[in-house]
Amino acid sequence: MSKELIFGLVLIALLVLAPRLGLFGGGCCGLNRTKTFSTNAIYIANKICPVSGRQIGVMGPGVQEEYHNKVYHLCCGGCISTFESDPEKYSKIADDQFKAAKNNY
C-alpha cells in the first residue's frame, strides 16, 4: 500500500466519523439538544418558526419544543430561549399559522 492511499483512507474515515462524533456541531446556532417528548404528544408540523418568522429547514434541520403536550418546530436553537420565555404566545402563533396553512390546501 502506498502512503497516499493510506492517507486517503484515513481522510475518508475521518469525514465519515466526524459528524457522528459531533465534531461539526449541530444546528445553525451550534446548539444540539436531544429532547424526549411525551409519547402522546401531538406534533404540530408548523413550517414557519413562531419566534423568528423564518421558514424552518432553511437554517438547518431546526429544533423542537414541547408545550402543553404539543411539539412545535423552531428554526434554530437560538429561538428556544425566546419560545420558553413566553410559550403561551409563541405556541399560539404556531397553532394559528399551522391552521392557516392547512386551510390553503
Closest CB 82 distance from Zn ion, rounded Å? 8
Q: Can you tell me the distance from the alpha carbon of 59 to that of 78, in angstroms, rounded to the nearest whole number?
A: 11
If the CB atoms of residues 52 and 64 are measured against Zn ion, the closer one turns out to be: 52
Nearer Cβ to Zn ion, position 19 or 53?
Answer: 53
Place of cell 419544543: 65
Report residue 50 CA to chain centroid gap.
13
Residue closer to Zn ion (CB basis): 38 or 55: 55
Chain residues in the site for Zn ion (CB under 5 A): 52, 75-76, 78-79
